[in-house]
Each structure stands twice: as C-alpha cells, then as structure tokens.
C-alpha cells in the first residue's frame, strides 16, 4: 500500500473517531460511507478507492439510494 493510500486511511479513521460521533448516524447505506471509503482505499488504493468513495458520498442524500452497498 502506497503513502497516499495510508494518508487517506488515516484521514478516514480520524474522521470516524473524532467527527462522526458528533455528527450522528446520517448515512443511508451499509456499510457507512466512511467505512466504504476505508475498504475501497484498502482494496484498490488511493486513486480508484478514493474515486469510489467520492461517488458513494455523492449518492448519499435524502433523494438518493439506500441499503446494502458493499465494496466490490
């Protein structure tokens, strides 16, 4: 795993530990968007995994989809 992926994983984990508890459960998907991003970056690296995470976050809104959407 390259340095960019490690940095992204660190940022996601910091978000999960520090910000997410204050913001509450807002994600319409399982796994949550941050967990999805973490898994995508771990599996595919910073570029592809980061793009997958951004697309997922873009779909996570009141008029978007919901339900189980794992990293494939």
Phi, psi (degrees; rounded to nearest 5) at 68:
-80, 125
- Look at residue 31 in the predicted model and tell me its pLDDT: 96
Q: Which domain holds residue 7?
A: 3-68
Q: Looking at the predicted structure, is the pLDDT value of residue 33 above 90?
A: yes
Give one DSSP letter per residue of the chain, joined into a string: --HHHHHHHHHHHHIIIIIHHHH-S--SEES-HHHHHHHHHHHHHHHHHHHHHHHHHHH-STTS--EE----
Q: Looking at the predicted structure, is the pLDDT value of residue 1 above 90?
A: no
User: What total number of domains does the chain contain?
Assistant: 1
Within 8 A by CB and 6+ apart from 36, the residues are: 29, 52, 53, 56, 69, 70, 71
Q: Looking at the predicted structure, is the pLDDT value of residue 24 above 90?
A: no
Mean pLDDT of the chain: 95
């Amino acid at each position: 795993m390259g340095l960019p992926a490690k940095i992204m994983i660190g940022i996601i984990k910091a978000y999960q530990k520090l910000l997410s508890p204050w913001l509450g459960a807002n994600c319409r998907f399982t796994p949550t968007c941050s967990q999805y991003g973490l898994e995508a970056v771990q599996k595919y690296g910073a570029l592809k995994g980061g793009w997958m995470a951004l697309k997922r976050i873009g779909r996570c809104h009141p008029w978007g989809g919901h339900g189980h959407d794992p990293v494939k």
